[in-house]
Amino acid sequence: MAINISNGQLFINGEWREGSSNVVKPTYNPANETFITDIAQASEADIDAAIDAADNAFKSPEWAEMSPLERSRLLIKVAQLVERDADELATLESIDMGKPKVFSLNIDTKLLADLFYYYAGVAAQIDGVTRKVTRTQSCVEPLAYTQRVPLGVIAAITPFNFPMLLSATKFAPALAAGNTIVHKPASATPLTAIKMAKIFDEAGLPKGVFNLVTGSGALIGNRLVDSPKVKKIAFTGSTEVGKSIAKRAIDSVKKVTLELGGKSAHIIFDDANLDKAITHALFGIYYNKGEICTAGSRLLVQRPVYEEVLERLHQATKSLIIGDPLDLNTTFGPQVDRNQVDTCHRYVEQALQDGARLITGGHRVFPLGDKGHFYAPTILADVDNSSPVAQEEIFGPVLCVIPFDTEDEAVKLANESKFGLAAGIQTENISRAHRVSSRLQAGLVWVNTYNQFDVALPFGGFKESGIGRELGTEVLDAYTQIKSVYIDIEGK
């Protein structure tokens, strides 16, 4: 399939241009390992040019003095173009990272448009408060108020697993608040980032407000983090890289938000509706072939229903349709690359050596001939919660199932993790649902469902799963700073 998305160029200051070093790298389709297109590799000079363009655009009257309603109109236009080009965006996402198109089209592009519509609505409501001061120097009360002002150049550094969505969770609020952007997408999945740059251009964003630099993570990342002109790093990715960014960013006291890894516990109590619980457990781990930060990768099951859940889950994995992501019947695609497959396999082998019981999977599969980075949906039972397979993020379709006896034990096991991104509870007991959700150390708790996201609901992690929140109006804290103004109006 010929894809006419990239001409190996970068998008800087409103123009498509060759990288100054003229280096390009191929990108491949993980389902069949075929070449898709060449991607420009930005040099330090290119990154600096993108930062300068964003910095100049931030100060330009065209952007700085644009009214909030005008920014809303631009964001609405972006949302409409996303809807117009949804099929192309979904196709690009699916060939780039192996996500079944049935999801990239019906879930991702819809949420993508939602993000721009929602923050278009927010743009004109970013305001401050008047405050009554506590001490006054004279009999006339001073006027004291706050304003929320944009930060300046935002560097958005994004991961491979939801390329367009996790970029737009940064773009939409950042632009609504009046910032400018340099985007560095994941090296393995740049295609929808290129398409989004085209959409921003067509929507009429002023030159330099959005810039795209593709290429090496470390080279571009470090340059962005070190630049004094970049005022904030909005990062989604691994905990390891996130920590290194945060340490480096402190040198310039740069603001940082981190959306990092997870190893989420999904608890099935013996009073759950098991038909629904099995569906949610399946979707919880195998959605996006396990390449999702909130994956319910530790399934805690109360002992009276433990063997039944294992058997029914095993049967349910057979309903997954593994195949070409572009086929709309496919529900389970390839891992993003060979590394991810090898990582899954390494953890499974280690777990079996450590005494886990293999229920299904644990091997590669080849639904499309002898090529493709597919790994079978895998279930490991009797996993020790303290073992590496239960404590480290695998980021693949490997489910660890762990038995428990009491509610207290379930909460203890769930919280015994350095991560705290999400958690799930399956129960028909409403008191238990509230009680357990209040005790779980996680940024997002689902009850009788799993992996449900909404633009209005804040998203982010406890513990080593991150710093800050995306989505909702809470994300505005990440893209604005507060200015307090104190006016002595006595005037003497």
CA 305 to chain centre: 33
Residue 157 Cβ, how far from ligand NAD at the closest point, in Å? 5
Instruction: Give the other-Cβ count within 10 Å of 275's Cβ.
Output: 8
> Does position 420 bind ligand NAD by CB under 6 A?
no
Residue 400 a catalytic site member: no
Applying CB under 6 A, the span of 87-95, 99-107, 218-226, 380-388 interacting with ligand NAD comes to: 218-226
Q: Of 19, 173, 208, 262, which lies in the binding site for ligand NAD, with binding defined by CB under 6 A? A: 262
- Per DSSP bridges, beta strands 153-157 and 230-236 are parallel
Applying CB under 6 A, the span of 102-110, 151-159, 315-323, 423-431 interacting with ligand NAD comes to: 151-159
Dihedral (CA of 324, 330, 335, 336) sign: positive
Residue 140 Cβ, how far from ligand NAD at the closest point, in Å? 49
Are 336 and 97 a contacting pair, CB within 8 Å?
A: yes
* Residues linked to residue 381 through DSSP beta bridges, in sequence order: 357
Residue 168 Cβ, how far from ligand NAD at the closest point, in Å? 13
> Does position 166 bind ligand NAD by CB under 6 A?
yes
Size of the site for ligand NAD (CB under 6 A): 31
Residue 45 Cβ, how far from ligand NAD at the closest point, in Å? 18
Q: Which single residue brings its beta carbon nearest to ligand NAD?
A: 221
Are 425 and 436 a contacting pair, CB within 8 Å?
A: yes
- Residue type (1 letter), 229: K
| 114/259 with CB nearer ligand NAD | 259
Applying CB under 6 A, the span of 65-73, 102-110, 158-166, 477-485 interacting with ligand NAD comes to: 158-166
Q: One of 293, 400, 464, 470 is an active-site residue; which one?
A: 293
Per CB under 6 A, which of residues 185..204 are in contact with ligand NAD? 185-187
Q: What number of CA atoms fall less than 13 Å from residue 8's CA on the CB side?
A: 11
Per CB under 6 A, which of residues 275..334 are in contact with ligand NAD? 293
Exposed/middle/buried for 207, CB within 10 Å: 0-12, 13-18, 19+? middle
| 119/269 with CB nearer ligand NAD | 119
Report in angstroms the alpha-carbon separations of 227 from 13, 45, 220, 248.
17, 12, 11, 11
Task: Classify residue 451 by its DSSP letter.
Answer: S
* Residues linked to residue 211 through DSSP beta bridges, in sequence order: 182
Helix ranges (H only) for 327-427 are: 338-353, 388-391, 407-415
Residue 436 Cβ, how far from ligand NAD at the closest point, in Å? 22
Exposed/middle/buried for 401, CB within 10 Å: 0-12, 13-18, 19+? buried
| 206/217 with CB nearer ligand NAD | 217
Residues 6+ apart with CB under 8 A from 167: 156, 158, 183, 185, 192, 193, 196
Binding to ligand NAD by CB under 6 A, coded x per residue (else -) over 378-397, reads ---------------x-x--
> Does position 259 bind ligand NAD by CB under 6 A?
yes
Residue 293 a catalytic site member: yes
Exposed/middle/buried for 80, CB within 10 Å: 0-12, 13-18, 19+? middle
Q: Of 32, 238, 391, 473, which lies in the binding site for ligand NAD, with binding defined by CB under 6 A? A: 238
Applying CB under 6 A, the span of 79-87, 230-238, 305-313, 474-482 interacting with ligand NAD comes to: 230-238
Interface positions with ligand NAD (CB under 6 A): 157-161, 166, 184-187, 217-218, 221-222, 236-238, 241, 244-245, 259-262, 293, 393, 395, 421, 461, 465-466
Could you list the active site residues?
259, 293
